[in-house]
Amino acid sequence: MAEFTNKRIVITGGAGGIGIETARTFLDHGAHVVLVDLEVERLEAARAALGVNRVFTVVSDLATPADCVDIMERAKPAYALVHLAGVFERDPLLSEEHGVWDRAIAANLTTAYDMAVAFRTRTDPRAASRIVFASSVAYRRGSADRAAYAAAKGGIVGLTRALSRKYAPDILVNAIAPGLIVTRMSEQIIVERGEAYRNEIPLGRFGQPSEVASVIRFLCSKDASYVTGQTITIDGGITNA
């Protein structure tokens, strides 16, 4: 029997490149997935790409705690929450443009907190449940053009560590910190400075969404039953280069 048979996995940002590949790997191992994203059209395209009947979709911007509770009520009992949703904006660092900071914290960090709180009481009691948050190497390396984003992703790491203590032993809480992965979100950076960035990566290439998805699946698997409070970097070695 596949490891995740009949287990429900909630994936926010589920219509993105990493979200689709994460859904695919869980589906391949028997899971039911709930994809949450902003746009109906992208969710429909994601569901069509996955091509199975164990995919459910929810349109939401996760703007309020009530929105997050509604999603988890629909999905309960859930085995895992994979929180990938977020925004990635250039930060001009101007007092009159505070919206970039507000959106970065709200969409990347506050939504993670609200989803985790909603998830806690709506889990599958058959096994220790899992939360996987998406941080970024931006919090490790710093991001000169996206300071608000880097700060929010650093906050994800703090949240991961705190909840891993608070939710233990019933829920294991971990995070991933991807580097430059080939998705729609990274297109502009690749256009602007892709070659220079690639030259810094010891593996000599950008990452693929499936290479992030496989780590997420591991963190939700029985093989990671003694792993909690960790942030796993997936960057081809650039952080240590």
> Which residues contact residue 111 at a Cβ distance below 8 angstroms, ignoring those fewer than 6 apart?
12, 62, 68, 83, 85, 86
CA distances from 55 to 2, 72, 103, 234 (A): 17, 15, 29, 26
Cα(72)–Cα(119) distance, integer angstroms: 6
Cα(180)–Cα(19) distance, integer angstroms: 15
Task: Give the SS3 label for residue 231.
Answer: strand
Q: Which amino acid is at 217?
A: R
The active-site residue, picked from 113, 139, 149, 167, is: 149
Query: Is the Cα torsion angle 183, 185, 189, 191 positive or negative in sign?
Result: positive
Active-site residue 139, yes or no?
Answer: no
> What would the two tokens of residue 214 be?
């496989």
User: In degrees rounded to 5, what are phi and psi of residue 84?
Assistant: -110, -10
The length of the chain in residues reads 241
Active-site positions read 149
